[in-house]
């Protein structure tokens, strides 16, 4: 069976999935991750049914960086699982003003994507590293870049602009929005679950270590909490979220910090980690009795509520709210607390359904339907990759089994 490999590279891990192609349909076969890169490298992978295929620890010097981790995972797939993909799909965070849809990667495309590293320094270099590795080792293997910004590129000019001179916009300084692959999946999944609701005014909250929100109108992105970079909007695990630009000027001019030091601060030492002084992990904060942990959670909920009002304003109302990603999918207490904050919009939860993490968690008399829908960015990447690799396979996939 022909297969597609999906790679999602981070700063210290490479998540991967393998999809088989059967009569134009995608069948998920393997989920895996190479993690602990640079500290204690580990390769873990499971079959779709949950059977552990590998759980192996490596010497640190054997897997010093992301490209080495990809080679390690690739060797395991090839030598022990007999997986020889016909194409590789990659999550690439920033497509800039040029790329509003997935694209087959060439050396020229790769050079262009490198220009956007300053706009996503936490993600873009890691996203591109596996692409370079595969291009060098297997130059004939098709690779597809799928962008987190692409889903938002149909925003109106009013939503896209900052109030700065127009020539900056022409140069690419605009509000892009991120987590687009997640929102694309949720929009399609909601259309299958509740087609009439999906046509209306919906806010999706992608709440994880990286967090953002998206306003959907008729299944299309109308507005996003994130902007020019993935720093904007909600506070995140280690990122500050929305902040007065004057704070950045103050840190540089009055505190003597360099631009690099400020960048590191805003990406690595802020958010839940900075507020709590304890952890960037919501699970640890919820389990802690430290008042700083409680304050960080309060702040997170407060900002989500604020952005809900903003996005509802952009939509002109609200018919449904969707929780997704790690925190959104697995924290009933946070969902309950946010619902109280959103009661003015008519949000009312069924506490039993919420506690169980059911798909529909709103009460029968809630004015706003509330859903919990697990996201699946990898499936979206696999679908786009299959559609772009040519006529060898039908492109009309509808989902994975």
Torsion angle defined by CA atoms of residues 333, 203, 383 and 76, in that order, rounded to the nearest 10 degrees? -30
Query: What is the distance between the alpha carbons of residues 331 and 336, in angstroms, rounded to a whole number?
Result: 9
Count, in order, helices (H) and strands (E) of the chain: 16, 13
Specify whether the backbone of 54 is left (phi greater than 0), alpha (psi in -120 to 50) or beta: beta
Query: What is the distance between the alpha carbons of residues 266 and 121, in angstroms, rounded to a whole number?
Result: 11
Which of 79, 108, 137, 148 is an active site residue?
148
**Catalytic-residue membership of 376:** no
Nearest to 181 by CA among 385, 389, 334: 385
If you search the block for the tokens 């590998």, which residue do you land on?
A: 54
24 contact partners, CB below 8 Å, separation of at least 6: 393, 394, 395, 396, 397
DSSP string, 286-337: HH---HHHHHHHHHHHHHHHHHHHHHHHHHTS-SEEEEEHHHHHH-HHHHHH
98 contact partners, CB below 8 Å, separation of at least 6: 112
**Both tokens of residue 290?**
């430290």
Which residues are bridge partners to 25 per DSSP?
A: 22
Q: Are strands 320-324 and 201-207 parallel, antiparallel or unpaired?
A: parallel
Specify whether the backbone of 50 is left (phi greater than 0), alpha (psi in -120 to 50) or beta: left
Q: In what order do the strands lie in the sheet with 13-22?
A: 52-57, 42-47, 25-35, 13-22, 3-9, 87-92, 143-147, 103-104
Q: Are strands 369-372 and 320-324 parallel, antiparallel or unpaired?
A: parallel
**Both tokens of residue 352?**
């039993």
Residues known to be catalytic: 148
């Amino acid at each position: 069976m022909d297969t597609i490999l999906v790679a999602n590279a981070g700063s210290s891990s490479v998540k991967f999935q393998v999809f088989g192609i059967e009569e134009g349909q995608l069948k998920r076969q393997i989920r895996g991750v190479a993690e602990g890169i640079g500290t204690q490298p580990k390769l873990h992978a499971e079959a779709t049914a949950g059977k552990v295929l590998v759980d192996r620890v490596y010497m640190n010097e054997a897997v010093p960086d992301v490209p080495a981790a990809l080679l390690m995972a690739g060797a395991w797939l090839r030598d022990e699982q007999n997986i020889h993909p016909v194409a590789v799909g990659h999550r690439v965070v920033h497509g800039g003003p040029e790329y509003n849809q997935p694209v087959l990667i060439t050396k020229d495309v790769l050079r262009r994507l490198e220009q956007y590293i300053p706009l996503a320094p936490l993600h873009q270099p890691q996203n591109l590293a596996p692409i370079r590795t595969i291009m060098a080792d297997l130059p004939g293997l098709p690779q597809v870049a799928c962008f987190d910004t692409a889903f938002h590129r149909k925003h109106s000019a009013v939503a896209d602009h900052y109030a700065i001179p127009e020539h900056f916009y022409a140069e690419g300084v605009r509000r892009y929005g991120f987590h687009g692959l997640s929102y694309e999946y949720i929009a399609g999944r909601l259309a299958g679950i509740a087609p009439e609701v999906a046509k209306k005014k919906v806010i999706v909250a992608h709440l994880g270590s990286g967090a953002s929100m998206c306003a959907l109108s008729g299944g299309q992105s109308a507005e996003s909490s994130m902007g020019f970079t993935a720093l904007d909007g909600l506070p995140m695990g280690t990122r500050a979220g929305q902040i007065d630009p004057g704070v950045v000027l103050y840190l540089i001019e009055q505190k003597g910090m360099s631009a690099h030091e400020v960048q590191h601060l805003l990406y690595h030492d802020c958010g839940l980690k900075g507020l709590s002084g304890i952890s960037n992990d919501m699970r640890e904060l919820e389990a802690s009795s430290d008042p700083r942990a409680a304050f960080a959670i309060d702040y997170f909920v407060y900002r989500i509520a604020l952005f809900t009002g903003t996005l509802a304003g952009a939509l002109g109302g609200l018919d449904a709210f969707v929780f997704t990603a790690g925190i959104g999918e697995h924290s009933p207490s946070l969902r309950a607390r946010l619902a109280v904050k959103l009661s003015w919009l008519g949000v009312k939860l069924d506490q039993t359904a919420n506690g169980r993490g059911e798909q529909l968690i709103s009460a029968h008399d809630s004015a706003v339907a509330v859903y919990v829908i697990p996201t699946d960015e990898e499936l979206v990447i696999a679908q786009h990759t299959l559609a772009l690799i040519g006529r060898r396979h039908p492109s009309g996939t509808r989902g994975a089994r």
